[in-house]
Every structure is written in C-alpha cells, then in structure tokens.
Amino acid sequence: MTKFQKALKLFLVFFKIGAFTFGGGYAMIPLIQHEVTVKNKWITDDDILEIVAISESTPGPIAVNSATFVGYRVCGVWGSIAATLGVVLPSFLIMLCVFFLLDKFQEKKPVQYAFMGIRACVLALVLKALISMYKKCQKNWVSYTIIAFSVITSVVIARFVPINTFYIIIASAVFGLVTYSIARRRANK
C-alpha cells in the first residue's frame, strides 16, 4: 500500500468516525479504538491508551488530537493531515447544514425528540469509553487517588468554584510523575 493509499484510507476511516459519532471526542474513543486496533490493526490497545492520555493533555479537542496522533503513527505527516481533515470535515459540513436548517425546525417536536435521543446515546458512548479505559488502566492506589481527585475537583468542587479542567489534568499528571519517581527511587535502593 502506497503512502497516498494509506493517507486516503486514514481520511475515509476518520471521516466515517467524524460523520457518525455525536457527542464529541469521548464518544468517539470507542469507535476510534475499534477502527484502528480491531478492524485495521494499525496500532494496539496499549497505544490507544497512550494516545488518549496524550490527546487529553494537549490543547485542542480529543478527537482531533487522537486522529492526528494515529495518522502520524500510521503514515507520518501526511497521515496526520489526512486523519485530522477526515475527523473534522463531517462536523464542519453538518454544522453548516444545521446552521441553515435548525432555525426553521427547532420548535418541531420530532426534532426535539431526536436531540433528546442523541443526548442519551452520547451518554452511553461516554460511559462505554470510561469502562473500556478503566479495564485497561493500571489499578493501584495512585490510579484510584487520581480518579478520586479528578472526580471530587471536576464534579463536586467545580459546582461551587469554577475550575478549569486543564489544571485538573496538569495536577493529575504531576501527581503521577511524582509518585513514579518516588517508586523508582525506592526500587533502586
């Protein structure tokens, strides 16, 4: 397969993911995982965990970052460009159509019920991604501490004090790095 063919395949796979996944990046993770690890065998499940962790830690939407990283792993710079365009283009086209049509139809009951169904589906997809990532994540006191910290700060405290998610991610990464270095020092003694 030539580089052009790989880049085209990446574009088409991520276009499909972008076109048929509602709810943002977290809802796309199960589809990305299935397409790139199971169906096309471009990368492994462990790679997906790393890509999701990096995508959450870098600026920008998680789906775009994930597509960029997968594309780069599979086909270099052209792969990252193709995958990124593939995942972004459907949203752009859909939003363009919605912009022109929603104003005319948003008061119609079928449209309201359709969006209610889409929101329920998105919640289920996000929960599926959470369960899938939890199963593959290391389970030790560090992970559980970070999970508890993240839930408490982003769900409980954020209701009363506005906290940017970026700071929660950075604090979790720092905590993970500090505990890793302490564990490594103890192991070397």
Please give the Cα distance from 20 to 26 (Å, whole number). Answer: 13
Please give the Cα distance from 163 to 149 (Å, whole number). Answer: 13
Q: What is the DSSP string of 30-57?
A: HHHHIIIIIIS-SS-HHHHHHHHHHHHH
**Furthest-apart CA atoms within the chain: distance in Å:** 70
Segment 42-56 shows an average pLDDT of 83
Segment 173-184 shows an average pLDDT of 86
In total, the chain counts a number of residues equal to: 189
Determine the pLDDT at residue 153. Answer: 79
Determine contact, residues 24/119, Cβ cutoff 8 Å: no
Please give the Cα distance from 46 to 62 (Å, whole number). Answer: 17
pLDDT in tens, 95-131: 888 777 777 777 788 878 888 888 888 788 778 877 8
Segment 161-177 shows an average pLDDT of 81
Please give the Cα distance from 22 to 32 (Å, whole number). Answer: 13
Question: Which of 15-29, 35-49, 166-180 is predicted least confidently?
Answer: 15-29
Predicted TM-score (pTM) of the model is 0.57
The CA R_g of the chain, rounded to the nearest whole Å, is 19
The structure tokens listed for 167 are 């700071």
Helix, strand or coil, per DSSP, at residue 160: coil
pLDDT above 70 as % of the chain: 98
CA distances from 67 to 46, 88, 150 (A): 16, 9, 25
Determine contact, residues 51/64, Cβ cutoff 8 Å: no
